[in-house]
Structures are given as C-alpha cells and as structure tokens.
C-alpha cells in the first residue's frame, strides 16, 4: 500500500493514540482534539483511526466499543467487563507448539491478537469495598 501523506489532523489523531496509555476510543480522541482542531468531526477521527489500523500503524481492539492502540508489536490485552477499559498485560511467552499447529494446518501465521476478559484492579477494588460495606 502506498505511503499516505499525514495531514495535520491525521498526524494529531495518530499522536493522541500513540501517546495515550488508555487504548482510546474514537470518541476519546475526538474529545481530546476538539479544542485544538474545532473543525474536526467524529467521523473523520473514526475513518482515520480505521485507515491507520488497516495500514498497520495502529492496532484496532474489537469489543462493544472499538478501541485503538499505538503499540503495534504483538502483546496481550485485558478488557474489563465492568468499566470497558482495555489494559496491557505482561508478555506471555510464545509457544512453539503454535508453529507446529500452523504447519499441520498448512497456514503461515503473521501475527496474533490475544484479548482476555476480566475485571481490572480498579473495578475489583471498588467491588471489594462494596462487598465489605454490604457485610456490615
């Protein structure tokens, strides 16, 4: 795919995702950039994010709300079932058995996405506080 020229808007959208530690949604990116780029629309943000994900510049994380990650290296995520946040997890060692499986299936694996679901520490802490309060 030919290299896309980054407009100022596109470059800022990319920078916001890349610099964010939150795996932002299109809405989050839009809200952050709206004061700086008042003519920017949510549709423009979403289209640019999807295009950059398709080009491999960002990672698109599917779920009830699509989120984006500026880190394109393979890594693992956890999606919190309470708050909807997406969090990076420590790296899981690569299992060479996957190479054997791919060879048996006749496929070549070029990448992967591993997404766990669970409860983040902040939500778990809130639930523990509420459980403690209810037991009084």
pLDDT by 10s per residue, the chain, length 136? 444 556 899 999 999 999 998 999 999 999 999 999 999 999 999 999 999 999 999 999 998 999 999 998 888 999 999 999 999 998 777 778 888 888 999 998 877 778 999 999 999 999 886 665 554 4
22 & 81 share domain:
no
Residue 33 maps to which CATH number?
Answer: 1.10.10.10
Calpha distance 46→43 (Å, rounded):
5
Structural contact between residues 12 and 33, judged by C-beta atoms closer than 8 angstroms = yes
Q: What is the pLDDT of residue 95?
A: 77
2 & 62 share domain:
yes
pTM recorded for the entire structure = 0.78
Please give the structure tokens belonging to residue 130: 């509420």
Q: What is the pLDDT of residue 15?
A: 97
80 & 63 share domain:
no
Counted domains in the chain: 2
Range of the domain at 95: 74-136
19 & 40 share domain:
yes
Structural contact between residues 83 and 42, judged by C-beta atoms closer than 8 angstroms = no
Angle at 95 between CA 92 and CA 96, to 5 degrees: 150
110 & 81 share domain:
yes
Q: What is the pLDDT of residue 59?
A: 94
**Cβ count within 10 A of residue 111:** 9
> How far is C-alpha 123 from the geometric centre of its chain's CA atoms?
19
Structural contact between residues 10 and 40, judged by C-beta atoms closer than 8 angstroms = no
Domain boundary among 15, 44, 69: 69
């Amino acid at each position: 795919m030919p290299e896309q020229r980054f407009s100022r808007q596109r470059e800022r959208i990319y920078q916001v995702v890349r610099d964010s530690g939150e795996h932002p949604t299109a809405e989050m990116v839009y809200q952050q950039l709206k004061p700086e780029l008042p003519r920017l629309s949510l549709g423009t943000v979403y289209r640019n994010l999807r295009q950059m994900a398709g080009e491999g510049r960002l990672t698109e994380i599917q779920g009830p709300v699509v989120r984006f990650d500026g880190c394109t290296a393979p890594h693992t995520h956890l999606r919190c079932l309470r708050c909807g946040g997406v969090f990076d997890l420590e790296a899981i060692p690569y299992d060479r058995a996957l190479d054997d499986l791919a060879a048996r299936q006749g496929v070549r694996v070029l990448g992967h996405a591993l997404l766990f679901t669970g409860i983040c520490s902040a939500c778990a802490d809130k639930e523990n506080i509420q459980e403690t309060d209810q037991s009084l």
